[in-house]
Amino acid sequence: MESSLPYVSTMSSQLLPTDAGPLDDDATGIPRYLQLSTLFRRMIESGQWQTGSQIPTVEELAAEYGVARATVRQALGRLDADALIARFRAKGTFVTYQPQEQLWCEVETDWSGLLLSRPGATIELMSEETGQQPPTFLQPVGERARSYRRFKRRHSREGKPFLIAYTYLDETLCKRLKREDLETKTALSLLSGIRGIKLGDVRQTLTIGAADVITARELEVPLNVPVAYVHRSAMDSSGKLVMVSEGTYRGDIVRLDMKLR
């Protein structure tokens, strides 16, 4: 079975122009220093401000973005706290960010890939609730079950979370579920391992957004940084919606690759 989505492996931040002009917190609802810290972070992670290089002065940045120097200092303070930059008296501010050794997180788009667990990853079951219904996503698919059990799980590697996932599983299937699989298998692998299941249509959609307060806390990333949302739905051979999975990935480890020919 093949997905209609293009190949998705890992995603680095897009390049940003340095002449963005004045920032306006009234237009976005986001304080200027947070806008700046997010912008500067992406410039560092994308390589526009390279590791070891000196960045513009506070005065230059304040003039470029039309903000007070105190706002720039506050934004740089967030980057300093995250060890992305280092500030030296009378010398300037330098990029100390070390690119990740391996952008390893793959959001597969073929059936065999979706069944694989990521090497070195651990899965933490955070909560389990019965009597739930999955949210309606875009155009509804399949005939809904009477009730679903919702599992909230956090996927991590080397102690660093990279995915928060909510999985809704048809309640009638839960008695056939192996409990230990909840801490070892991906959502579709979990479903395919249930005895007697014959899957029909399986769909996947990826969208890009920004981390809200709860997502930022659970993924241990700054507020408003890019995140990737992956929605998966699976119907059995009769057209019944047996599983829905809603996953939020850290945007700095997901890249969209599309083979055009």
Judged against a pLDDT cut of 80, whether residue 23 lies above it is answered with no
Provide CATH code, domain 25-95.
Answer: 1.10.10.10
- Boundaries of every domain in the chain: 25-95, 111-253
pLDDT of the residue at 109: 52
Give the pTM.
0.65
77 contact partners, CB below 8 Å, separation of at least 6: none
- Which of the four pLDDT bands, split at 50, 70 and 90, describes residue 18? very low
- Which of the four pLDDT bands, split at 50, 70 and 90, describes residue 126? very high
The percent of residues above 90 in pLDDT, for the chain, comes to 37
What confidence tens digit (pLDDT) does each residue in 127-158 have?
A: 999 999 998 766 667 899 999 999 999 999 88
Judged against a pLDDT cut of 90, whether residue 108 lies above it is answered with no
Judged against a pLDDT cut of 60, whether residue 179 lies above it is answered with yes
Mean pLDDT of 82-107: 77
Token pair 């706002």: residue: 71
DSSP, res 82: T
- Which of the four pLDDT bands, split at 50, 70 and 90, describes residue 256? low
- Which of the four pLDDT bands, split at 50, 70 and 90, describes residue 111? very low
Average per-residue pLDDT in the chain?
80
The percent of residues above 70 in pLDDT, for the chain, comes to 76
Secondary structure of residue 122 in the 3-state scheme: strand
pLDDT of the residue at 224: 78
The phi-psi region of residue 247 (left if phi > 0; otherwise alpha if psi is between -120 and 50; otherwise beta) is: beta
Judged against a pLDDT cut of 80, whether residue 106 lies above it is answered with no
List the alpha helices (DSSP H) in the chain: 25-28, 32-45, 58-65, 69-81, 111-114, 171-174, 187-192, 213-219
Distances (CA, A) of 129 to 137, 146, 164, 215: 20, 15, 16, 19
Neighbours of 168 (CB within 10 A): 25
Tell me the Cα Rg of the chain.
Answer: 21
Domains 25-95 and 111-253 share a fold: no
147 contact partners, CB below 8 Å, separation of at least 6: 130, 131, 132, 133, 170, 171
For residue 249, which of 218, 223, 238 has the smallest C-alpha distance?
Answer: 218
Judged against a pLDDT cut of 90, whether residue 197 lies above it is answered with no
Q: Which two tokens stand for residue 84?
A: 């992305």
Mean pLDDT of 179-186: 87
Judged against a pLDDT cut of 70, whether residue 11 lies above it is answered with no
pLDDT of the residue at 85: 94
Tell me the CATH architecture of domain 111-253. 3-Layer(aba) Sandwich (3.40)
Q: Comparing 62 with 112, which gets the higher pLDDT?
A: 62
Judged against a pLDDT cut of 70, whether residue 90 lies above it is answered with yes
Lowest mean pLDDT among 51-55, 102-106, 156-160: 102-106
